[in-house]
Amino acid sequence: MSLPETYYQRANALLARAWETNAPVIARLAPVIGESIARGGVVHTFGSGHSEVIAREIVGRAGGLVCISSVPDPTAGFIENLPGYGRALIARYDRQYQLLPGEVIIVISNSGKNASPIDVALYAKEKGLTVAALTCLPMSRVTPSQHPSGKRLFEIADHVLDNGGVTGDAIVEVTDSINSGPTSTFVGASILNWLMLAVIEWLRDRGHPLPVLRSQNLPGAIEHNRAVGANYKHRLSKQLA
């Protein structure tokens, strides 16, 4: 079997397991997020390094909720283990966009061991936010923390979403010493989209407004998006067009 076909089969099996594993967590977490949004709250996301790709997946997306804001890292994770850097990063974001008690932050880290995501999670908990982690539990459980607390992300979070990957992320053996075919991004993005749909469903079923964005390629979409985002525009790190 070719390497791409091996990846296709293994990755799809992993995605199916991720759904089974995370469906109960999503069922518990979606109402928490829904209630916060119904009160006018914003959902915050943070990912360091490549996890920033996942953190941005649900920000400003066509068909997604407008009230989601990501915490930017100008170093793209280059100094994510510099002591105190993550705390300074989230404190600066807090001053500009506000982290309010009762809101939810989703912190993404595949290994769950690096300092910046843990700093962000701890700071958010101090501010009274609910912390959801998206991580790889099989890897994180066997990996020592790089944070001064000695804790890993899953040990701090109120809710844990597990991408179910392997240590090192790559699932296809190319040679005896080389693996390829990472899965954390596409599985992680899928988990977040499942979660957002569950939140939208919760809001819809209870008669709450649905601040959902449309693709700006559709007629009238830009005006629609500005209207649904009007109440949030000063709290979003990525501004609407």
- For residue 99, being part of any structural domain is answered with yes
What local confidence, expressed as pLDDT, does residue 238 receive? 82
pLDDT at 155 over 90: yes
Torsion angle (degrees, nearest 10) of CA 32, 33, 39, 40: 160
Per-residue pLDDT for 241 more than 90? no
pLDDT at 10 over 90: yes
**Is residue 45 a part of any domain in this protein?**
yes
Residue 231 located in a structural domain: no
Whether 239 shows a pLDDT value over 80: the answer reads no
Mean pLDDT of 143-158: 95
Q: Partners of 133 in the beta sheet? A: 107, 160
Let me know: does 169 contact 110? Beta carbons within 8 Å. Answer: yes
Name residue 170's beta-bridge partners. 182
Q: How many residues does the chain have?
A: 241
User: Mind listing the pLDDT tens digit for each residue in 159-199?
Assistant: 999 999 999 999 999 999 999 999 999 999 999 999 999 99
**Whole-angstrom Cα distance, residue 4 to residue 212?**
35
Average pLDDT of the chain, as a whole number: 96
| Residues contacting 88, CB < 8 A, separation 6+ | none
**Residues 6-29, mean pLDDT to the nearest whole number:** 98
How does strand 130-135 pair with strand 104-108?
parallel
Hey, how many other C-beta atoms are within 10 angstroms of the C-beta on 186?
15
| Extended beta strands in the chain, E state | 43-47, 68-70, 104-108, 130-135, 159-162, 170-173, 179-182
Six-digit token string for 29: 């977490």
User: Is position 183 within any domain?
Assistant: yes
Is 77 exposed, middle or buried (CB count within 10 Å of its CB: 0-12, 13-18, 19+)?
A: middle
We report the CATH number of the domain holding residue 165 as 3.40.50.10490
Q: What is the pLDDT of residue 233?
A: 87
Q: How far apart are CA 16 and CA 9, in angstroms?
A: 11
Whether 60 has a pLDDT exceeding 70, the answer reads: yes
Cα torsion through 199, 201, 203, 208, rounded to 10: 150
* Res 240 pLDDT > 70: no
Say yes or no to pLDDT of 34 above 70.
yes
What total of structural domains would you count in the chain?
1
Residue 17 in any domain: the answer is no
> Does any domain span residue 29?
no
Among residues 62, 169, 186, 46, the alpha carbon closest in space to that of 105 is found at: 46
Residue 185 token pair: 């991004």
* Rg over CA atoms, the chain: 18
Residue 167 counted as domain residue = yes
Closest CA to 83 of 51, 115, 112: 115
DSSP conformational letter for 65: B
Residue ranges making up the domain that contains 142: 3-8+41-214
Structural domain contains residue 150: yes
Burial class (CB in 10 A: 0-12, 13-18, 19+), 233: exposed
Q: What is the pLDDT of residues 83-140, one digit of tens each?
A: 899 999 999 999 999 999 999 999 999 999 999 999 999 999 999 999 999 999 999 9
SS3 46: strand
